């Protein structure tokens, strides 16, 4: 090593260029800070609220339950709308129309109480009748299989279950179960269902104000209610994360029909649908309220979970 004045050449070079190194470090740090700030502003993930309520409906056209925690899979909330009443057409191999509240006697279903003791048992209660217990593990997949008009497969649970509900609505009906996979191993989706219906808590407050009357949220059968965001905010999100696991993606706004006029006290109110027709946007001629989301990433949702917008819909 050549020595100059007791110091090595590398040592001298280091001293000469040290100020430039510091300048380069400062410039680099500033660059990373600015780009990071830009990304945070442009691509920020915005927390918009928290989950205030979860709801699922084991039996279609019947009241729901309000769990504090529930699993959301590819096809939506576990057990949601998997049990369905069909009108009895007299042929066990033919599908009947789904029981709706626009036919006399069906409004009695509002007074059926529903509870889920575990993910394998749903219990139906009605005043003056013994409880009806459905244990999913005992449903025989070899029982009579019937397909609806969309090709989804249903299993007939049997005469005992049929009679329990037929007594309540004063006409013959059949209790059917839609398994998660059909006999070909393909996902089996109940007719006219979507994975998750999302509502803003402030949406219902705004509906009541605009309608000039109290309107129960039960009329609209949401799965997820979010508190802390603006009314109708759910229509503006393309993708949201709930808690640590679940990611939902916008599918479509929910088109409403006359069923919103029914409520749990059996008093039908035509004002609700009339209000929606007057005051809400329409798609395919029907007013919309609430938003359907598909499930991109499955997992558990808890009441109190934070809701973060990962992506907004174009134009919002």
Mean pLDDT score, 145-159: 88
Is residue 13 included in any domain, yes or no? no
Same domain, 104 and 150: yes
pLDDT digits (tens, 9 = 90+) for 29-42: 565 455 444 444 44
**CATH code of 254's domain:** 2.40.33.20
3-state secondary structure (DSSP) of residue 207 = helix
How many structural domains compose the chain? 2
Same domain, 113 and 260: no
User: β-pairing, 224-227 with 196-200?
Assistant: parallel
Same domain, 250 and 287: yes
pLDDT value for 44: 55
Q: What percent of the chain has pLDDT over 90?
A: 54
Same domain, 148 and 209: no
Same domain, 103 and 129: yes
Same domain, 91 and 163: yes
Its domain, for residue 143, covers 82-177
Same domain, 173 and 198: no
Mean pLDDT check: name the lowest of 42-51, 116-125, 150-159. 42-51
Same domain, 51 and 97: no
Q: Are 22 and 45 in contact (CB under 8 A)?
A: no
Is residue 163 included in any domain, yes or no? yes
Q: How confident is the model at residue 70 (pLDDT cuts 50, 70, 90)?
A: very high
Same domain, 122 and 162: yes
Is residue 145 included in any domain, yes or no? yes
What is the average pLDDT score of the chain? 84
pLDDT digits (tens, 9 = 90+) for 174-228: 999 999 988 888 888 887 889 999 999 999 999 888 888 888 888 899 999 999 9
Reply yes or no on whether the pLDDT at 313 is more than 90: yes
Q: Which of 150, 177, 204 is the last residue of a domain?
A: 177
pLDDT value for 218: 85
Q: What percent of the chain has pLDDT over 70?
A: 83
pLDDT value for 104: 84
Is residue 218 included in any domain, yes or no? yes
pLDDT value for 267: 54
Reply yes or no on whether the pLDDT at 23 is more than 70: no
Is residue 66 included in any domain, yes or no? no
Same domain, 281 and 235: yes
H/E segment holding residue 297 = strand 286-297
pLDDT value for 34: 59
pLDDT digits (tens, 9 = 90+) for 115-134: 998 889 999 999 999 999 99
Q: What DSSP string runs through 85-140?
A: EEE--S-TTS--PBP-TTSTTGGGGGG-EEEEEETTEEEEEETTEEEEEEEGGG--
Is residue 9 included in any domain, yes or no? no
pLDDT digits (tens, 9 = 90+) for 253-306: 999 987 777 665 555 555 788 888 888 999 999 999 999 999 999 999 999 999
pLDDT value for 39: 41
Query: pLDDT higher for 45 or 313?
Result: 313
Same domain, 152 and 86: yes
Is residue 10 included in any domain, yes or no? no
Mean pLDDT score, 37-48: 60
Q: Which of 151, 177, 203 is the last residue of a domain?
A: 177
Q: Which residue, among 67, 48, 61, 53, has the nearest Cα to 222 in the 3D structure?
A: 53
User: β-pairing, 286-297 with 299-302?
Assistant: unpaired
Is residue 69 included in any domain, yes or no? no
């Amino acid at each position: 090593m050549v020595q100059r004045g007791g110091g090595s050449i590398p040592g001298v070079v280091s001293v000469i260029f040290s100020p430039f190194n510091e300048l380069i470090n400062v410039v680099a740090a500033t660059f990373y800070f600015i780009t990071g700030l830009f990304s945070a502003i442009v691509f920020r993930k915005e927390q918009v609220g928290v989950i205030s309520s979860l709801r699922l409906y084991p039996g279609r056209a019947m009241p729901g339950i309000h769990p504090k925690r529930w699993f959301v899979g590819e096809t939506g909330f576990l057990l949601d709308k998997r049990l369905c009443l069909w009108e009895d057409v007299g042929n066990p191999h033919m599908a009947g129309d789904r029981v709706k509240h626009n036919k006399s006697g069906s409004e009695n279903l509002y007074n059926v109480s529903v509870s889920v003791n575990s993910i394998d048992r749903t219990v139906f209660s009605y005043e003056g009748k013994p409880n009806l217990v459905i244990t999913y593990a005992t449903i025989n997949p070899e029982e009579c299989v019937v397909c609806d008009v969309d090709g989804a497969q249903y299993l007939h649970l049997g005469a005992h279950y049929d009679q329990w509900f037929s007594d309540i609505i004063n006409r013959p009906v059949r209790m059917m179960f839609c398994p998660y996979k059909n006999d070909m191993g393909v996902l089996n989706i109940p007719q006219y269902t979507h994975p998750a219906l999302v509502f803003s808590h402030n949406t219902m407050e705004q509906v009541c104000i605009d309608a000039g009357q109290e309107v129960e949220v039960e009329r609209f059968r949401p799965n997820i209610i979010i508190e802390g965001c603006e009314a109708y905010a759910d229509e503006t999100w393309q993708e949201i994360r709930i808690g640590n696991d679940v990611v939902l993606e916008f599918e479509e706004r929910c088109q409403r029909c006359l069923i919103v006029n029914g409520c749990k006290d059996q008093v039908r109110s035509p004002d609700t649908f009339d209000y929606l027709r007057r005051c809400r946007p329409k798609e395919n001629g029907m007013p919309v309220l609430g938003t359907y989301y598909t499930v991109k990433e499955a997992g558990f949702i808890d009441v109190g979970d934070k809701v973060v917008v990962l992506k907004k819909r174009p134009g919002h």
